[in-house]
Structure 1
């Protein structure tokens, strides 16, 4: 096997940094509560009910509402507000996160910026508790802010992986982080399931949903403290040479320009992977964010049924992430991710045919999603870490995060447009197949060994 030697002049001391691995895991645990309880389960149906109340006052929110909302004179169907909100948030994130990465690479203490973004996102998410009546505008703005803060925090968090784990350990470390995230998100969701289903203390369904979203925000902010304190002494190894003498703004802009030139000229395999990831991750993220909306509006399931299903997915995904980590240790991460995309394609096709109120088939699809979900995301993160040049981790992970959780703007835009044109979520869900097909085709063309060599990194035993 041909390997490329790695320069250790500015590389991380993995043995010394091993103490940061455990606290690093906890941020997956912290932010997954927001992603699961709010982003995946509660926000879509709740903001849709708020939008319907605004568009069709006095009408039963369970009935179809043909009246459109208006945003800057543009008609918006109430049923499309949730995916359109995600679209706006993700386009804004794609712009903001690129600059965030350039700044983080120049920061000596990355945990400080992680804390700023984590607590900003938690505060924005907590504000959703106050979204009531027909105030859909506030709900959309707060979700956009929380999404941008989440992506900004993950730029820093993911870039730490290259500092604390050696190339041969990254699949394992990344998979365990994702697994812990699904476990944490699932535990809080279990509590919220009881709250929304049982409605104790005379709570209304709307108030129970708002309390559940508030609990996810508090969970995110409080558990982030473990990661921030535990990695506080972790330092970026060195500033990028391209902007070593620039100020915070001018140096970051110089580095940003250099990165785009560097990516295009010297890291074509990294660029090809990012393009593949753009497509297949858009499909994954849209399935995740639209699943509760699809189940509630198209298949007519109750909120408690959807929470129970997502809860099952969370705990299955905990085992799925660990399982895929073991498969990758034997078969390689790239082949394992390609196999997962075949499974995603089958899942989306089968979802199109699930009959209305047929909960058992939908439940089985949920189990399949849980098995493949954690592995495909965790291994994509570790795969990309092998293709990132040293000392530019945050900036390159900013490009990655622009296509990561909550930034599936192609997918959510297509999902919303198809629904607005057809008035059915079935055609919207089946349209997502194209993202997995194109993403898998491009991923199969990536030469990972060559990409790792171009990045000047050490070759792992399997890739």
Structure 2
């Protein structure tokens, strides 16, 4: 009878954990549509056109009296959103201690969803409204992602995390592809629906916010809060961040992994943000080709995330990530030689990016989760997310400087190989099994 009771308890615990994992996947499903349809495809060109409508004769807008070239307004708004996110995240880093992560996740998600839905009202010359909504939505997504990531070590056993993290990324890319297809049907056929091009874009933007808000209900119903048993500092805000940084210094191998991740992930983010510029300016490809390539990346990223998750079961997360970094370098090398005016080869490049994109990011998240001391998940993932955001300027800067010096986008794109080479070298030197043990976590059989 005692054995049966124990087995029943284990079965109930496993069922509860699986339920939370399925709910957790759906936050990626909810918020990734914002990244794909809003940030990557529609908002940049549309907000730039709105800013140009409001510009003076010299092509400048004047937010708060500051002269800003209309074509730069979107980029500056994205940069400001990063600063806002970095300022807010330390205030939430103590969520583990309070045991109130779920309400904070809800607040971040619905703030971002509301701001994104409000983009329906971006018309005429309302560029300032667009900038404010972008800053709020982008910062909210960053904060929500930090809280969402911090659940991973709480809802998955060490041996499950690679697969769980990979499935989360796959869910996100699947949602992004699904909604992007619907958006493109509306956008390309707007006249047949009796809509102007502007109205179609505004509906696409708002639909991402409604999607984000609706599907966030699932993780909020299934995830549960846990109060940390670990005694932590009660200092708020940046004093808490300073305490976290001091604590991380006691785990130098965790810091070593974080440094490697920041470098190669900066390369990944720069490729994502600059690939369309490379395609349009260097390869002379049209907007429809670029949008189709984004869709291809989304579809293949689902398969890539799941495939690399499976490889990690056999070869370990570290080796699989290292292999993906080699693949990234090869893809960029191939991109350097792409002929202009040949969309077929650009689609091949997009396919290569899609196959390694989701897996390299998902496995990095799961590997970092092993390096976080128990009870400090939100603290450490706050530092993880802030460091990621804080370094995200370096890759675009190298890309821009290389283009400025050489006048060639081909040289600019190949310069990004440096991030993957350096990241590979730093990650290869991290003894992850010892790092996991030093963090106070059980070491999986294969990592």
TM-score > 0.5, shorter chain as reference:
yes
Partner of 1:206 in structure 2? 198
Matches within 5 A, 1:197-346: 197-199=188-190, 200-231=192-223, 234-238=224-228, 240-243=230-233, 246=234, 250=235, 255-264=240-249, 266-346=250-330
Query: Alpha carbons of 1:138 and 1:418: their partners in 2 closer, same or farther (altered >3 Å)?
Result: farther
Query: Alpha carbons of 1:109 and 1:99: their partners in 2 closer, same or farther (altered >3 Å)?
Result: closer
Question: 2: distance between equivalents of 1:332 and 1:323?
Answer: 13
Question: 2: distance between equivalents of 1:346 and 1:73?
Answer: 46
Question: 2: distance between equivalents of 1:75 and 1:144?
Answer: 19
Query: Alpha carbons of 1:357 and 1:145: their partners in 2 closer, same or farther (altered >3 Å)?
Result: farther
SS of alignment partner, residue 151 of structure 2: helix
Give the TM-score normalised by structure 2.
Answer: 0.88
Q: Cα RMSD between the aligned structures? A: 2.8
1:363 aligns with 2:354: no
The answer as to whether partners of 1:45 and 1:292 remain within 8 angstroms in 2 is no
Matches within 5 A, 1:2-17: 16-17=16-17
* 1:41 to partner: Cα distance: 1.7
Question: 1: distance between equivalents of 2:327 and 2:199?
Answer: 37
* 1:275 to partner: Cα distance: 1.2
Matches within 5 A, 1:61-460: 78-102=70-94, 104-199=95-190, 200-231=192-223, 234-238=224-228, 240-243=230-233, 246=234, 250=235, 255-264=240-249, 266-404=250-388, 408-415=392-399, 425-460=409-444
Question: 1: distance between equivalents of 2:400 and 2:85?
Answer: 19
* 1:19 to partner: Cα distance: 2.4
Question: 1: distance between equivalents of 2:414 and 2:66?
Answer: 26
* 1:68 to partner: Cα distance: 5.9
Question: 1: distance between equivalents of 2:48 and 2:402?
Answer: 17
Question: 1: distance between equivalents of 2:240 and 2:15?
Answer: 29
* 1:219 to partner: Cα distance: 0.7
The answer as to whether partners of 1:87 and 1:408 remain within 8 angstroms in 2 is no
Query: Alpha carbons of 1:195 and 1:157: their partners in 2 closer, same or farther (altered >3 Å)?
Result: same
Aligned residues: 434
Partner of 1:38 in structure 2? 38
Question: 2: distance between equivalents of 1:74 and 1:346?
Answer: 43
Structure with the larger RCO, 1 or 2 (CA within 8 Å, 6+ apart):
1
Question: 2: distance between equivalents of 1:315 and 1:263?
Answer: 37
Give ranges in structure 2 of 5+ residues lacking alignment. 1-12
* 1:129 to partner: Cα distance: 2.5
The answer as to whether partners of 1:236 and 1:391 remain within 8 angstroms in 2 is no
Question: 2: distance between equivalents of 1:210 and 1:409?
Answer: 29
* 1:422 to partner: Cα distance: 7.0
The answer as to whether partners of 2:90 and 2:238 remain within 8 angstroms in 1 is no
Residues 150-204 of structure 1, C-alpha deviation per residue, up to 9 Å, x if partnerless? Answer: 1111111111111110000000111111111111111001101111112232323
Question: 1: distance between equivalents of 2:400 and 2:132?
Answer: 18
Residues 255-294 of structure 1, C-alpha deviation per residue, up to 9 Å, x if partnerless? Answer: 4332111111x11111111111111111212222333344
Q: Which moved more, 1:333-342 or 1:288-297?
A: 288-297
The answer as to whether partners of 1:101 and 1:155 remain within 8 angstroms in 2 is no
Q: Which moved more, 1:188-197 or 1:424-433?
A: 424-433
Query: Alpha carbons of 1:156 and 1:342: their partners in 2 closer, same or farther (altered >3 Å)?
Result: same
Question: 1: distance between equivalents of 2:405 and 2:205?
Answer: 31
Query: Alpha carbons of 1:416 and 1:42: their partners in 2 closer, same or farther (altered >3 Å)?
Result: farther
The answer as to whether partners of 1:89 and 1:407 remain within 8 angstroms in 2 is no
The answer as to whether partners of 2:332 and 2:413 remain within 8 angstroms in 1 is yes
Residues 216-240 of structure 1, C-alpha deviation per residue, up to 9 Å, x if partnerless? Answer: 1111111111111121xx1224254
SS of alignment partner, residue 457 of structure 1: coil
* 1:416 to partner: Cα distance: 5.2
The answer as to whether partners of 1:121 and 1:146 remain within 8 angstroms in 2 is yes
